[in-house]
Structure 1
Amino acid sequence: MSREGRIGAWAALGISLLGAVIYGGTLQHPFVFDDLLSILEAEEIESLWPPGRAFEAPPGSGQSGRPLVALSLALNYWLAGRAVLGFHLVNILGHIAAALALLCVARRCLVATGEASGAAATGLAFAIAAVWVSHPLHSDAIGHIIYRNETLMALFYFLTLYGALRAFEGEKKWLILAPLACLASMACKEVAVSLPLMVFGFDVFFGAKSARAAFAKRGAFYAALAFSWIGLAFFVASGERGDSVGLGHADVVGVADYLRTQMIAVPIYLRLTFVPWPLIFDYHDGVVVRHWQEVWLPGVLLMSLLGLCIHSCSKRRVAGFLGLAVAVILAPSSSLVPLAGEFIAEHRMVLPLAPLLALVVLFANRLLRPSKARAPWLAPALLALVLAGLSATTIARNRDYRSALVLWQDTTKKRPANSRAWNQLGLAQRDEGQAAAAEASFSESIRLEPRVGMAQFNLGNLLVSRGMGKTGVYWLREALERRPRDARVLFGLGTVLINNHEPAAGVQHLERAIDLQPGWLQIRARLAWLRATHPEASLRRGGEALQAAHELLARGGKRPRFLDILAAAQAEVGDFAKAQASASEAARVARSEGKQTLAQQIDARQALYAAEQPFRQP
């Protein structure tokens, strides 16, 4: 191995060790927030078969419309079930892999632009990747498992850039591999929409030197990159993201409102890049800016910075291109596509942090260049000091993710007007057995934002579980009044009504929930089970339950729960021989998945079918 190769290997090893040390202590941290819907409650991740099943996702989940993220979760489940360690390990390894890809991209970019060469280029690339891998702004994307969409998107983004640079050097295999990596990046998150433009822009400014020359040399390559936009459109259309993306709240927050609000968000991101404190998990209480005069100063500053970057790009300066790259990457989530659920989110800086930190490293390198002859130790010492500070800050921030209770206590302390944080704190307190504290947190959330409805929903469920059914149902109805098209609320209220001797009304709510979310198999399964097993004859519809069971198996594969429903429906229509066979298969699959309690329950029902008796709910 050449000296330069050895330096590169040591750089890669250093980055890997740095990432492992910083995030190694997070392996046993629990699932939090969106992880519950996306992983713990997502039956879709439980199967890799039939083909395509692993790409499915619950409506509104973090992997919906992001098939590679969904596949990664299914592979996690296939390897170790819902053991949290495996999910964290993939997040950490993905982060380290992205940093290594950044190391390779940064080195080649430095050489291609003439900024550095040889060992100097490797050293600068190491500084960029090391600062990136250790930066505290990543803690959200690593500690919150479903936010692996950011890290995986960044990994394939960097691989695409790396492949493009190799293709520019004449390595033909990368003409195919780079577009595939581009498509993979878009299959992880929509922000990768900027990737073909980024590759083309680099070629125009530092490669072919003009758009016409770039198209003349590599027209087919750019067509292949652009083809990934068709894939992205398909991914977005195939996913149900609920109200979190687009104009789901257009009556409350319009495009102009969102754009104005981002005039506040972007300076926050820039500040946290240089001073990563305080870090906040959720900014849901962010004020929506309704008038341009409220943000004229940050707007003027941001537009001035953008103009400066464009002017610098026109002079083919690396600093200008890096600054413009930050703007282009942030644009989809900061102006073009309103994200109604999160006006401000620190995890959005995972990818744009790379060009921003590269800009800082190159600036620092130029400042220190005159002193290199007299004090060659100065630059490495400063880098070590920066890495130590960033690593310590990140490790300290990681501790906030050790429990949902700690995380939401930290958030409500830093953002006391955040109604969603109080609601989530209530859920964490409920799970810790702190019912009185949870009730107080839900009440505070309702006081801060009475229109949303989720705190009413959670308060209602809490009160029902504490035996206060009448009061609980009142709050559930209050939630439904505010969220009449929310399938979760309809499902929750319907289930409570069924369990509290109002089954007819409960069934109506379940049917309405299915109309709103036809792809949510959990609701279909609940209604099919009721139609097959309810003790009241007026509510049982064996034929309907049988049809629903077959649809569940067709959509969701041979899950033990679906086979159990099929057996109950077959028994309800009098086909006890088939019911026994289906129950036997359900028990077998349940045992193969380690679900012994469910298997024993199915065995008990199978004994009823053998005696030609249908199962009835107690």
Structure 2
Amino acid sequence: MTRSAPGPRRWPPPAGAAALVLAVIAAYTGALAGPFQFDDWWSIVDNPSVHSLSGWWQALPGIRPLLKLVNTLNWLATPHASGFRVVAIVLHATNALLLWALLRRWLPVLAPRSPRPAFAAFAVALLFALHPAATEVVTYASGRSLLLSTTCMLAMLLAMPGPHTAAHTAPNAGAKPRRGSGVLAAAWFAAALAVRETAVVAPLAWLLLARCGGLGWRQALRPLAASAGVLAVAAIALAATPGYHVFFARSLEARPPGEQLLGQLEAHAWLLSAPLPGRVLDIDPDLQVPAALAARHLLLLAGLAGTTAIAWWQRRQRPWIGFALAWYLLMLAPANSLLPRFDLGNDRHLYPALAGPLLLPALMLAALRLRAAAALLAILALAAGLRTGQRNHDYRSELALWQATITTSPGKARAWTNLGIARREAGDDDGAAAAWRCALALDPDYRQAAWNLATLAPRSAAVDPGCPQQR
């Protein structure tokens, strides 16, 4: 499978890069005033291994060492939540730029019938930069692992040879990648794995990009030689790290395979709604393993089968369809497939996967006249940016975040428990007790709520009036 391609794509123009960066700053400036949230306290604020380089070193060997090193350096520079958010905003803007550069290089061959692939590449990057589903990764400090691993994975893909190496070349022969590209890509791959183990899919992402972009198997596999060595070393390190043994043991104990498959059908039915307008964001969604297959699951499977059939039928004329679908599934596979995890799904896991679904509106816009396309893109970007700003407003305090969460997950005991903690920190003991009583009404065995309630002597014995059990 070989397509004629233009010469190497140049890096994005400065004016467009500045526009992307300014868009990210405008959407996320409001997040700077918010405090640390939820898991940030045990993973960063109260974690001595993050507070000094010696503490970080003494905690080795452990999982995600590069992520912890970056958090340590961030803490040493400034221990305030605003400092962590500044770094996250910089990383998010960097990811938008890297994604733009990657698509500028590859969209001419992934979408050979598009009249404006460069415009489509910018549209994907801009919508990715402003999409409200990214707020959990950028604004929530504990979501940084996906943010930073995405940076490393995109850098790895950019270090690989471009589609121009396949131009006028027979499959499995001809043009060689630029010298050292495979080694540089392997270094970025190693960094990604040291941030988050789910980055193991990065070489598969390259194979997907290369094959959909017209490179033969030999051309696609050749630059992965050094990355294969990194993968082997990483496997040995994983086997020798006790933290990973505990991690995988707890994961496998979460639920049996049958329940896991049903649970992931439920999770993907929820996750697939994320790119849609008006989708409600939720830091702690109330997703439960269904008792049996439901109509929405059958609809999801039918849609997946239909899209796969269309992608196969259009694999030569519109390879971007298969790429978009496979990219989405591949990026979600480590956290949302066979390996169980406590939560069925979270907004933050969508972060690297968003680029796939966003190709559809971007290429639809690129098919219009330029003025109309630019105007519609501006409207979409403004709507997404305003929604992102609104969501960031929920992070202005722990109380605000968990109050917003129980409006979307009113039946989840953990959300009510965290709301109670936030109320107690704000000095509202009666409100805290009422929230914990609601958590126990929803789940009588929820120990954290019971322990918290036992520490208080509230004046009122009421249950929060917003509790579903009170209706």
TM over 0.5, shorter chain:
yes
2:306 match:
304
Q: Aligned-pair distance for 1:308?
A: 3.9
Give yes or no for contact 1:426–1:437 (8 Å, CA) kept in 2. yes
Q: Which amino acid aligns with 1:183?
A: A
Deviations 1:210-233 (A, max 9, x none): x25544xx1xx3222233333544
Query: Could you tell me which of 61, 69, 74 is aligned with 1:76?
Result: 74
CA distance in 1, matches of 2:196, 2:178: 28
Query: Could you tell me which of 7, 10, 21 is aligned with 1:16?
Result: 21
Q: Aligned-pair distance for 1:467?
A: 11
For 1:270-285, list aligned pairs within 5 A.
270-283=272-285, 285=286
Q: 1:129 to 1:29 in 2, by over 3 A?
A: same
CA distance in 1, matches of 2:380, 2:242: 41
CA distance in 2, matches of 1:159, 1:249: 30
Q: 1:167 to 1:47 in 2, by over 3 A?
A: farther
Q: Unaligned 5+ residue runs, structure 2?
A: 1-8, 166-176, 460-471
Query: Could you tell me which of 27, 38, 62 is aligned with 2:43?
Result: 38
Asked if 1:106 corresponds to 2:103, the answer is yes
Asked if 1:449 corresponds to 2:446, the answer is no
Q: Aligned-pair distance for 1:293?
A: 5.5
Give yes or no for contact 2:182–2:227 (8 Å, CA) kept in 1. no
Q: Aligned-pair distance for 1:37?
A: 0.8
Q: Unaligned 5+ residue runs, structure 1?
A: 57-63, 469-618
CA distance in 1, matches of 2:107, 2:132: 25
- Which one has the bigger helix percentage? 1
Give yes or no for contact 2:110–2:320 (8 Å, CA) kept in 1. yes
For 1:424-435, list aligned pairs within 5 A.
424-435=418-429
Q: 1:310 to 1:318 in 2, by over 3 A?
A: same
Asked if 1:157 corresponds to 2:153, the answer is yes
Q: Aligned-pair distance for 1:100?
A: 0.9
CA distance in 2, matches of 1:431, 1:446: 20
Q: Which amino acid aligns with 1:49?
A: S
For 1:223-242, list aligned pairs within 5 A.
223-233=225-235, 236=238, 238=241, 240=243
Q: Aligned-pair distance for 1:143?
A: 1.4
Q: Aligned-pair distance for 1:34?
A: 0.7
259-268 vs 431-440, which moves further: 259-268
Give yes or no for contact 1:8–1:122 (8 Å, CA) kept in 2. no
Asked if 1:187 corresponds to 2:194, the answer is yes
Q: Which amino acid aligns with 1:348?
A: H
CA distance in 1, matches of 2:188, 2:278: 31
For 1:514-525, list aligned pairs within 5 A.
none
Deviations 1:400-452 (A, max 9, x none): 00001011011112211011000101111111111111111112112211234
Pairwise CA RMSD: 2.9
> Kindly, what percent of the aligned residue pairs are identical?
27
CA distance in 1, matches of 2:365, 2:59: 46
Deviations 1:554-589 (A, max 9, x none): xxxxxxxxxxxxxxxxxxxxxxxxxxxxxxxxxxxx
Q: Aligned-pair distance for 1:120?
A: 4.4
Give yes or no for contact 1:150–1:189 (8 Å, CA) kept in 2. yes
Give yes or no for contact 1:140–1:147 (8 Å, CA) kept in 2. yes
CA distance in 1, matches of 2:56, 2:397: 36
Give yes or no for contact 2:420–2:432 (8 Å, CA) kept in 1. yes
Give yes or no for contact 1:443–1:455 (8 Å, CA) kept in 2. yes
Q: 1:234 to 1:46 in 2, by over 3 A?
A: farther
1:269 match:
271
Give yes or no for contact 1:313–1:321 (8 Å, CA) kept in 2. no
CA distance in 2, matches of 1:433, 1:179: 51
The residue matched to 1:31 in structure 2 has which SS? coil
The residue matched to 2:33 in structure 1 has which SS? coil
Q: 1:246 to 1:338 in 2, by over 3 A?
A: farther
CA distance in 2, matches of 1:441, 1:242: 36
Deviations 1:567-616 (A, max 9, x none): xxxxxxxxxxxxxxxxxxxxxxxxxxxxxxxxxxxxxxxxxxxxxxxxxx
Q: Aligned-pair distance for 1:205?
A: 3.5
User: TM-score of the superposition, structure 2-length normalised?
Assistant: 0.85
The residue matched to 1:416 in structure 2 has which SS? coil
Give yes or no for contact 1:311–1:320 (8 Å, CA) kept in 2. no
Q: 1:7 to 1:108 in 2, by over 3 A?
A: closer
43-52 vs 172-181, which moves further: 43-52
2:171 match:
none
2:174 match:
none
Q: Which amino acid aligns with 1:300?
A: A
Q: 1:214 to 1:174 in 2, by over 3 A?
A: closer
CA distance in 2, matches of 1:131, 1:388: 10
| Paired positions, count | 438
Determine which structure has greater relative contact order: mean sequence separation of CA pairs < 8 Å that are 6+ residues apart, divided by chain length: 2
CA distance in 2, matches of 1:235, 1:42: 23
Bigger Rg over Cα = 1
Q: Aligned-pair distance for 1:323?
A: 1.3
CA distance in 2, matches of 1:250, 1:222: 30
For 1:366-385, list aligned pairs within 5 A.
366=367, 368=368, 372=369, 376-385=370-379
For 1:43-82, list aligned pairs within 5 A.
43-49=48-54, 52-53=57-58, 65-80=63-78, 82=79
The residue matched to 1:333 in structure 2 has which SS? coil
Q: Aligned-pair distance for 1:251?
A: 6.1
Q: Aligned-pair distance for 1:296?
A: 3.1
Give yes or no for contact 1:45–1:54 (8 Å, CA) kept in 2. no
Q: Which amino acid aligns with 2:348?
A: H
CA distance in 2, matches of 1:381, 1:361: 13
Q: 1:282 to 1:121 in 2, by over 3 A?
A: same
CA distance in 2, matches of 1:467, 1:451: 21
Deviations 1:269-311 (A, max 9, x none): 222202242111101x312123345633333333433454455
The residue matched to 2:441 in structure 1 has which SS? helix
Query: Could you tell me which of 142, 160, 163 is aligned with 1:146?
Result: 142
Q: 1:6 to 1:142 in 2, by over 3 A?
A: closer
CA distance in 2, matches of 1:346, 1:195: 20
Q: Aligned-pair distance for 1:50?
A: 7.4
Q: Which amino acid aligns with 1:25?
A: G
The residue matched to 1:115 in structure 2 has which SS? coil
Q: Which amino acid aligns with 1:137?
A: A
